[in-house]
């Protein structure tokens, strides 16, 4: 359920303001590093097919600090005509924000994944809880993560309404 808008940050009165937000982003990066470590034994063909969100009908869901990490300090790309993730590069094959890609992108693999048979589900669950706690600190009115395309569409509307 949507409970807040991206533009409503001021209403959340973040604890400690900018400092708290920076701390939150740092913690998100730490969570991402742990997710990467958990999936280090795995590999995939890196085809970019999983980023064709309109085709897969699946997309990453982001907590607020994840969206902030993804969107802050870089131009907002336009929506893609093919319904793919706006953060795909021009070829539609590569992520243009790889270092800051969301948790869901780091932990999503299709049936072509190669590696240990048992995926690190417990680690993923623990890290997800941590992401939620971080988000609750800086955006307490957001009760659930939101799909990447929702975050993007909202930001795109705000950026282009002038």
Residues at the interface with ligand SF4 (CB under 6 A): 51, 60, 85, 87-88, 95, 97, 101-102, 105
Residue whose CB is less far from ligand SF4, 142 or 151: 151
Only one residue has tokens 């009165």, namely 13
Q: In whole angstroms, how close is the CB of 27 to ligand SF4 at the nearest point?
A: 19
Q: In whole angstroms, how close is the CB of 100 to ligand SF4 at the nearest point?
A: 8
Q: In whole angstroms, how close is the CB of 24 to ligand SF4 at the nearest point?
A: 19
Beta bridge partners of residue 88, listed in sequence order: 95
Residue whose CB is less far from ligand SF4, 25 or 51: 51
CB 25 within 8 A of CB 138: no
Local structure of residue 4 (DSSP, 8 states):
-
Count of H-run helices and E-run strands, the chain: 6, 2
Residue whose CB is less far from ligand SF4, 9 or 108: 108
Q: In whole angstroms, how close is the CB of 10 to ligand SF4 at the nearest point?
A: 27
Beta bridge partners of residue 147, listed in sequence order: 61
CB 62 within 8 A of CB 104: yes
SS3 66: helix
Q: In whole angstroms, how close is the CB of 118 to ligand SF4 at the nearest point?
A: 24
SS3 61: strand
Q: Which helix (H) or strand (E) holds 134?
A: helix 121-138
Residue whose CB is less far from ligand SF4, 21 or 103: 103
Residue whose CB is less far from ligand SF4, 60 or 145: 60
């Amino acid at each position: 359920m949507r409970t807040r808008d991206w533009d409503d940050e001021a209403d959340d009165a973040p604890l400690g303001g900018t400092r708290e937000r920076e701390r939150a982003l740092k913690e998100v990066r730490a969570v991402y590093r742990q997710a990467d470590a958990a999936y280090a034994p795995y590999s995939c063909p890196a085809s970019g097919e999983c980023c064709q969100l309109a085709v897969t009908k699946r997309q990453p869901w982001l907590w607020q600090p994840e969206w902030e990490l993804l969107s802050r300090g870089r131009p907002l790309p336009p929506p893609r005509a093919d319904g793919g993730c706006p953060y795909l590069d021009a070829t539609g094959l590569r992520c243009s924000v790889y270092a800051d890609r969301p948790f869901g992108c780091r932990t999503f693999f299709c049936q072509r994944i190669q590696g240990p048979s048992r995926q690190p589900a417990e680690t993923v669950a623990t890290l997800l809880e941590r992401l939620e706690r971080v988000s609750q600190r800086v955006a307490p009115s957001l009760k659930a993560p939101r799909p990447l395309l929702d975050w993007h569409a909202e930001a795109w509307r705000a950026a282009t309404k002038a």
